[in-house]
Structure formats: structure tokens, C-alpha cells
């Protein structure tokens, strides 16, 4: 499955890099063209240092739970000192503020974006209230009415960017879920594909060993499936695969895992199930499929199943139990099909 946390971590690092480059250009290049007091350069150098520190912290995963917060800290920590010395809400740096919730939403999610927006509105309010005490080294004064007007405008812009940030975040989450589904689900039958099954089965295997709980694996193969494809066509074969998957799923519990292992083979992971219980499950599946009538041709299907299980003690990897189930399946095929066989 796709690792969304790793993806967001990479976005966070890229955002910090962009902030560093922009701040570097503003600190070292801008004074070459505009006559500014040295205090701007000093604050710029402090900002560069703080951004570099946050980058190292995020890069080394020292505060994984607060990575999204770093976006907020970089934005506010970079902009606020510059606004303090350049007229507060009238500062040329103030338009950067509405961008912060957008970036925070994309990285930190809905709640983080809303919290950041509220905090930034509070910051804007403070600049309005203490407008007369804010220094302005740019010598660009504005009336109180203009200050309030700009504050209202920035507040509305903050709300808008927060909304769009949340929208893009949810859209991104939805697309990630769809990609994960495509990567782990079998499109034809609607059950897990081999990759998705193996990932979940390994998780369950670890839990079973930790709690010393039994589990069973059933490997199932549709009998004479090649004959169905050759005689009735691949569309009929696809219909049979979907019908078998649905029939198996109807006999399983919510915690059981069903996957298409490849071709006409299906695989089941039954947690908290011993070998005696797995035999009853296999028999129910065998009977249900034998009673099915599939397609306009009225096809009758049978399946052969191999069963392997773990009932405590030392644990092998998932491939070992699948191999045992496969050997049992082969014995069932050799001895007449339409049956289940326990591994030796």
C-alpha cells in the first residue's frame, strides 16, 4: 500500500526547502537593489538559521507528530518579525500569511489548518490593536481605517485559503485511497489481489504469534477452469471467477481475509481458527460452490482446497504455510478434485 505519511514527509521537506531559498534570496539579494536598514538582513539571517534547524529536525524524524506544526512555525516565525519592523498589517510581507493555512492543510490535515487559521486571525487582530506601537522602518505610514480594512481583507483571505487547503487535502486523501485500492484489490472479483492479501496476512501472522492464537490458510483452485475458458470463452471464465469469489465471501466472517492468489486460485486467511474449524469452513465453501449455477450456459463448478494452519509454538513465515496448503491442494487435485485436503 502507498505510504501516505512518507509522501507527506517528502512534501514537508520540499516546502521547507522552498522557504529557505525564498528567505535566502530576500535576505542576501534584495538589499543589493533596495536600500534597507540592516535590521532586515539580521532578521533574515535568524530566519535562515531557524528554518535550517527545523529542516534538520524534520529530516531526521525527531518530532514526527509535529511535522505539520513546523510549517506553521516557519511561516509565522519568518513573517512576524519582518511585519513587526515594517508596519504590521501594512507590511509588504503580510500577503504571505494567507498562504500558511493552505500549506498546513495539505501537510497536516483539516484540524491543523483550522487551528492555524484561528491563530493567524488572532495574530492579525494583535497587529491591529497595537498598530500604533508597531515600528515601521520603511517609513510608510497608514491610517487606522486602512489598517482595519486590510486586516478584514486578510482575515477573509485566510478563511478562503483554509477552505481551499481543506478541500485539496480531502481530495488528495480520496485519490490516495483510490490508488491504494487499485494497488491492493483485484478489479474483476472485488477481493484483495495477491499483494493486498500478503500485506494483511503478514500483519495477522505477527498478531497470531504474539498472542499464541491459531490461524489457518486455505488455498482454493477452480477445477477444470482452463476447459471453461476454452469451451465457453474468457467472458464466461471471468463470470465464474466473480461468482466463486462472491460465494466464498458469503461463507466467511468479517475478520477473515480473502484474496485472489493468481489465475483461478483464491487464498483465505482465517484468524483464530484451528484445523478442525477450518475443515468445516472448507466444506461449507465446497458445497456452496457445487450448488451454484453460473451464467446463461448454466455452468456447474467445483473447487479443490488445500489447508494448512498454525496452532501455537514456533512460527514460520507466511510463505511456508502457503507452500503447505499448496502441497495439500496438489494432493486433492491428484486424488479426484472437488474436495479439501489437510496438509501433513
Q: Where are the domains of the chain?
A: 4-184, 194-342
| pLDDT value of position 1 | 39
Is residue 264 among the annotated active site residues?
yes
Taking residues 159-183, what's their average pLDDT?
80
Residue owning grid cell 491459531 = 214
What is d(CA 307, CA 341) in angstroms, rounded to the nearest whole number? 6
Q: Which residues pair with 215 in a beta bridge?
A: 271, 310
Distance CA(337)–CA(330), nearest Å, equals 9
* pLDDT of 141: 56
pLDDT surpassing 70 at residue 238: yes
Mean pLDDT lowest among 157-161, 261-265, 335-339? 157-161
Query: The pTM is what?
Result: 0.59
Report the topology of domain 194-342: Alpha-Beta Plaits (3.30.70)
Q: What is the mean pLDDT of the chain?
A: 83
Contact 222, 244 (CB under 8 A): yes
pLDDT > 90: percent of the chain: 38
3-state SS, residue 65 = helix
Candidate list 254, 264, 297, 327, residue with the active-site label: 264
Pairwise CA distance, residues 133 & 318, whole Å: 69
Show Cβ contacts of residue 184 under 8 Å, excluding neighbours closer than 6 positions. 1, 192, 193, 195, 196, 199
| pLDDT, position 2 | 43
β partners of residue 221: 265, 304
> For helices 67-84 and 99-108, what crossing angle results, to 10°?
170
List C-alpha distances in Å: 190 to 73, 182, 187. 44, 10, 6
Kindly report, residue by residue over 109-156, the tens digit of the pLDDT.
788 888 888 888 888 888 788 777 655 555 555 566 767 777 777 787
Grid cell of 232 as nine digits: 465457453
117 and 162 in contact (C-beta within 8 Å)? yes
Which spans in the chain are helix H?
4-24, 38-59, 67-84, 99-108, 110-129, 144-184, 194-211, 225-232, 234-250, 275-290, 318-334
pLDDT at 194 over 80: yes
Instruction: Please tell me the distance from the alpha carbon of residue 250 to that of residue 152, in angstroms, as a whole number.
Output: 59
Amino acid at each position: 500500500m502507498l505510504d501516505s505519511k512518507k509522501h507527506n514527509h517528502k512534501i514537508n521537506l520540499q516546502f521547507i526547502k522552498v522557504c529557505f531559498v525564498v528567505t535566502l534570496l530576500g535576505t542576501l539579494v534584495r538589499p543589493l537593489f533596495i536600500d534597507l536598514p540592516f535590521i532586515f538582513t539580521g532578521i533574515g539571517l535568524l530566519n535562515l538559521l531557524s528554518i535550517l534547524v527545523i529542516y534538520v529536525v524534520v529530516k531526521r524524524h525527531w518530532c514526527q507528530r509535529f511535522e505539520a506544526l513546523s510549517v506553521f512555525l516557519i511561516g509565522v516565525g519568518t513573517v512576524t518579525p519582518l511585519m513587526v519592523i515594517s508596519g504590521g498589517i501594512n507590511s509588504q510581507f503580510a500577503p504571505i500569511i494567507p498562504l500558511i493555512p493552505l500549506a498546513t492543510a495539505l501537510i497536516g490535515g483539516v484540524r491543523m489548518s483550522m487551528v492555524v487559521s484561528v491563530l493567524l486571525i488572532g495574530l492579525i487582530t494583535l497587529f491591529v490593536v497595537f498598530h500604533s506601537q508597531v515600528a515601521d522602518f520603511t517609513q510608510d505610514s497608514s491610517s487606522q481605517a486602512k489598517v482595519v480594512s486590510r486586516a478584514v481583507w486578510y482575515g477573509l483571505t485566510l478563511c478562503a485559503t483554509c477552505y481551499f487547503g481543506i478541500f485539496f487535502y480531502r481530495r488528495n486523501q480520496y485519490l490516495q485511497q483510490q490508488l491504494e485500492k487499485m494497488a491492493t484489490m483485484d478489479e474483476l472479483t472485488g477481493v484483495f489481489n495477491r499483494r493486498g492479501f500478503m500485506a494483511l496476512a503478514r500483519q495477522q501472522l505477527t498478531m497470531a504469534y504474539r498472542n499464541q492464537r491459531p490461524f489457518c490458510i486455505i488455498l482454493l483452485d477452480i477445477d477444470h477452469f482452463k476447459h471453461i475458458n476454452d469451451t465457453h470463452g474468457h467472458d464466461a471464465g471471468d463470470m465464474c471467477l466473480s461468482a466463486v469469489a462472491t460465494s466464498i465471501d458469503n461463507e466467511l466472517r468479517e475478520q477473515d481475509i480473502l484474496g485472489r492468489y493468481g489465475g483461478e486460485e483464491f487464498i483465505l486467511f482465517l484468524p483464530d481458527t484451528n484445523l478442525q474449524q477450518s475443515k468445516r469452513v472448507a466444506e461449507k465453501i465446497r458445497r456452496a460452490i457445487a450448488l451454484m449455477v453460473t451464467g446463461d450456459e448454466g455452468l456447474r463448478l467445483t473447487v479443490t482446497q488445500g489447508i494448512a494452519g498454525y496452532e501455537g509454538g514456533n512460527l514460520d513465515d507466511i510463505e511456508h504455510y502457503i507452500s503447505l496448503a499448496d502441497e495439500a491442494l496438489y494432493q486433492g487435485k491428484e486424488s479426484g478434485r472437488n474436495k479439501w485436503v489437510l496438509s501433513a
